[in-house]
């Protein structure tokens, strides 16, 4: 049974999808045992509590350097015996020491079809704003392994989502979450836990 930590920075809708998938028995070889938030006030912590999952808060601003933050985060993960790390809307970039500690054991979901609209500066609504600005007809989401290159690790799963006439960034973001992110992330986690990835 792989022990999973989900790292969050906001409302935790992807976390909710992961926990509901787990509750339905869709990941028999893994269990979310820890949710780590980048700030104490995020709603994702409440979602975790509703599922009886232990939580921790590790804020980058509480540490003098990125290395210190990474060391603190690693300490929390190691203390909880974490096997797999899942970035579900986590807005801090992980440093080399964290990535080295979990080779091919860190997953990220990105709200576009990588290599489109990814890399430094592309997160949240910015991704969807750029997709609409460029006039693409199809966007989607990608789950990939994390390496030292921002959004550059090997791709595990992708799902396309149609861009509709009159879409706003907010409407497109919601559709990408509902049709792609919330399906792909639990599926990718189960694949890793089952040894299929």
What pLDDT was estimated at residue 92? Answer: 85
Q: What is the pLDDT of residue 159?
A: 98
Average pLDDT over residues 69-84: 98
CA distances from 133 to 57, 106, 120, 177 (A): 36, 31, 18, 19
The pLDDT of 28-41, averaged and rounded, is 97
Stated as kind and residue range, the H or E segment containing 134 is: helix 125-134
Token duo for residue 136: 């693409």
Average pLDDT over residues 9-38: 97
Lowest mean pLDDT, pick from 22-31, 41-50, 90-99, 103-112: 90-99
- pLDDT on residue 91: 85
CB-count burial class (<10 Å; 0-12, 13-18, 19+) for 131: buried
Residue 177 DSSP code: I
- What mean pLDDT comes out for the span 55-61? 96
CATH fold of 2-193 reads Rossmann fold (3.40.50)
Is pLDDT of 93 > 90?
no
Taking residues 138-149, report their average pLDDT.
97
| 130/128 Cα distance (integer angstroms) | 5
Active site residues: 110
Average pLDDT over residues 13-19: 98
Phi, then psi, of 169 in degrees rounded to 5: -55, -40
Domain ranges of the chain: 2-193
């Amino acid at each position: 049974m792989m022990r999973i930590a989900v790292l969050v920075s906001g409302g935790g809708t992807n976390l909710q999808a992961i926990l509901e998938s787990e509750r339905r028995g869709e990941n028999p070889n893994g269990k979310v045992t820890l949710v780590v938030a980048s700030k104490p006030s995020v709603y994702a912590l409440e979602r975790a509590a509703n599922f009886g999952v232990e939580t921790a808060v590790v804020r980058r601003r509480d540490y003098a350097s990125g290395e210190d933050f990474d060391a603190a985060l690693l300490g929390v993960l190691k203390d909880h015996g974490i096997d797999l790390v899942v970035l579900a809307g986590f807005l801090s970039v992980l440093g080399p020491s964290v990535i080295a500690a979990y080779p091919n054991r860190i997953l990220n979901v990105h709200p576009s079809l990588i290599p489109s609209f990814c890399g430094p500066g592309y997160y949240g609504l910015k991704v969807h704003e750029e997709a609409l600005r460029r006039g693409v007809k199809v966007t989607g989401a990608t789950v990939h392994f994390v390496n030292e290159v921002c959004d550059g690790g090997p791709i595990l799963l992708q799902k396309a989502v149609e861009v509709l006439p009159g879409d706003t960034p907010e409407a497109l973001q919601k559709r990408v979450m509902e049709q792609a992110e919330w399906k792909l992330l639990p599926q990718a986690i189960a694949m890793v836990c089952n040894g299929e990835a």
